[in-house]
A and B are shown apart, each in its own frame.
Chain A
Amino acid sequence: MAHLTESVVRVIDEFAKLPGIGRKSAERLAYHVLRVSASEALALADAIRDVKQNVRYCKNCFHLAEQNECDICRDPRRNQSQICVVEQPRDVLQLETSGAYSGLYHVLLGRISPLDGIGPDQLTIDSLVDRVKHGTVREIILATNPTVEGDGTALHISNRLAEYPVEITQLARGITTGSVLEFANKEILADALSGRRKF
């Protein structure tokens, strides 16, 4: 790219490192940055700097926060007796969009993935146990992903919490609303049957 200046090449290289952005898209973004006003372009740079400098993990639940505690943990209207355990902060955002849950969260920051060398000690499970031990929690909702590793993580947590007087529940799984039985695979049907409830 001899015909581009060093700064332009640098910004293209940086954009191209972003997930889902190829070289062509990176070039388009770089041209966009060159075209907009300096204040608009620098607002992007400032936003990136702020997010890296100010965002940290909440000391209670490990969700993203700009203070020691996240907005959810500081909200007195949230139900303090329920904790929903998820793998990643993005899972919190997804569950919040449902509007069906008003309790607290606990983000594990991963899942037990032995093939990648990730064991329970690398997750925030100890902090969850402390919250249960010292708090007023009555129910733990395990909302790890419905995969082999997600299930293994949920099982490990439920074993760790077995000695405490909390109810441990897991998100329901099975047939999607609006779909038809004819096209559901046998594992989904098996899940739906084993998790059936009284009508």
Chain B
Amino acid sequence: MAAEKSLAMVLRTVEFSESSYVATLFTEDFGKITALAKGARRRKSAFESALDLLSVSRVVFLSKSSDSLDLLTEARLEKAFRSSQKELSRFYAALYIIELVNLMTDNRDPHPELFRTTVRCIGRLDQGAPIAPHVLKFELAILRHLGHLPALHACSECSRAVPDAARMAFGIWNGGVLCNSCKIGKRKVVSLSLPALQLLRSWSEPEPETTNDTDWSLPQFDTEWTKVAGEVRGLMNQYLCDTLGRRPQLFDFLGFH
């Protein structure tokens, strides 16, 4: 058993026995792990508040080679999520983000860049960034990181460039835009306006890691978004449910239909 160290975000904790937790952590270096935190529920636990949901903590764990749980030996809180004391919608949005991470990542599959994106996104939500566009940005980022981003430029069936038109066909089951010849006879195809598609194209581009957090308050960000918010939200809800094979729990809390 090797002792591993990493920065981690707490995705889920489940009570185990009278004093312990089984914690699901999204670590920067090892991807998602599930570890037993013995005695974590005791008052004088070594973990203190480091295993609360949405916390970013520096953890040490003993990695098990078999299928059994890893053993968490140390967790030191780096950053706690505070907005659950101030604004419920912000709290639900942050939970939705970790639900997506938990549903879409596999155990022991490291995605350091996605980890940093997740921490940054939740940190921004905690600081007061606008919720709905921020959630969409994260959805596009996680789809891109994990290779599920829909085709937004070329036809998802024949790979030929799709010329821009006032309304474009988007195949939910096909995973992106469809050209005029490929869309015929396809099921679960929705019509998407060009401004909505352009917004998806521009927001799905990777964001430089150096981007300043205050960029979210640019006025152009608001105007771009408000014009097509409903249309894009509807499309993403369908696309994500189809990709995940289920409806995320947090959809109801966020009012996503």
A residues with a Cβ closer than 8 A to B are 19-20, 114-117, 119, 146-149, 151-152, 154-156, 159, 185-188
Q: Are B250 and A155 in contact (CB under 8 A)?
A: no
Q: Are B99 and A187 in contact (CB under 8 A)?
A: no
Docked Cα-Cα span, A188 to B92, in Å, equals: 23
Q: Are B95 and A151 in contact (CB under 8 A)?
A: no
Tell me the nearest residue of chain B to A153, going by C-beta. Answer: B84
For chain B, residues 80 to 108, give those with C-beta under 8 angstroms from any C-beta of chain A: 80-81, 84-88, 91-92, 95, 98-99
Q: Are A149 and B252 in contact (CB under 8 A)?
A: no
**Chain B nearest CB: distance from A164 CB in Å?**
19
The residue in A151, A159, A188 that gathers the most chain B C-beta atoms within 10 A of its C-beta is A151
Docked Cα-Cα span, A146 to B49, in Å, equals: 9
Please give me the 8 A-B residue pairs with the lowest Cβ-Cβ distance, nearest first. A151-B84, A152-B84, A148-B53, A151-B85, A148-B84, A187-B80, A152-B91, A20-B18
Q: Are A148 and B253 in contact (CB under 8 A)?
A: no
Partner of B88, one of A19, A147, A159: A159
* Residue count of chain B within 8 Å CB distance of chain A: 27
Q: Are B81 and A115 in contact (CB under 8 A)?
A: no
Q: Are A117 and B84 in contact (CB under 8 A)?
A: no
Tell me the nearest residue of chain A to B55, going by C-beta. Answer: A148
Partner of B77, one of A149, A154, A159, A187: A187
Q: Are A19 and B252 in contact (CB under 8 A)?
A: no
The 27 sampled A-B contact pairs (Cβ below 8 Å) are A19-B18, A20-B17, A114-B92, A114-B249, A114-B250, A115-B12, A115-B53, A115-B99, A115-B249, A117-B249, A119-B252, A119-B253, A147-B49, A148-B53, A148-B55, A148-B81, A148-B84, A148-B91, A151-B85, A152-B84, A155-B84, A155-B86, A155-B88, A159-B88, A185-B76, A188-B48, A188-B49
Q: Is B54 an interface residue (CB 8 A)?
A: yes
Q: What chain A residues lie within 8 Å of B250 (beta carbons)?
A: 114-115
Q: Are B17 and A19 in contact (CB under 8 A)?
A: yes
Docked Cα-Cα span, A26 to B250, in Å, equals: 40
**Chain A nearest CB: distance from B199 CB in Å?**
27
Q: Is B52 an interface residue (CB 8 A)?
A: yes
Given contacts A148-B91, A159-B88, 5 further A-B contacts (CB under 8 A): A148-B53, A149-B53, A155-B87, A155-B91, A185-B49
Tell me the nearest residue of chain B to A20, going by C-beta. Answer: B18
Q: Are B249 and A185 in contact (CB under 8 A)?
A: no
Docked Cα-Cα span, A20 to B18, in Å, equals: 6
**Chain A nearest CB: distance from B120 CB in Å?**
18
Docked Cα-Cα span, A187 to B49, in Å, equals: 8
Q: What chain A residues lie within 8 Å of B91 (beta carbons)?
A: 148, 151-152, 155
Q: What chain A residues lie within 8 Å of B49 (beta carbons)?
A: 146-147, 185, 187-188
Q: What chain B residues lie within 8 Å of A152 (beta carbons)?
A: 84, 88, 91
Q: Are B53 and A147 in contact (CB under 8 A)?
A: yes
Partner of A114, one of B18, B81, B85, B253: B253
Q: What chain A residues lie within 8 Å of B252 (beta carbons)?
A: 119
**Chain A nearest CB: distance from B25 CB in Å?**
14
Task: Produce 1/0 per residue, B217-257, CB < 8 A to A.
Answer: 00000000000000000000000000000000110110000
Q: Are B52 and A147 in contact (CB under 8 A)?
A: yes
Q: Are A148 and B54 in contact (CB under 8 A)?
A: yes
**Chain B nearest CB: distance from A114 CB in Å?**
5
Task: Produce 1/0 per residue, B28-55, CB < 8 A to A.
Answer: 0000000000000000000011001111
**Chain A nearest CB: distance from B2 CB in Å?**
27
**Chain A nearest CB: distance from B252 CB in Å?**
7
Q: What chain B residues lie within 8 Å of A114 (beta carbons)?
A: 92, 95, 249-250, 253
Docked Cα-Cα span, A113 to B85, in Å, equals: 15
Q: What chain A residues lie within 8 Å of B76 (beta carbons)?
A: 185
Docked Cα-Cα span, A28 to B186, in Å, equals: 66
Q: What chain B residues lie within 8 Å of A115 (beta carbons)?
A: 12, 53, 95, 98-99, 249-250
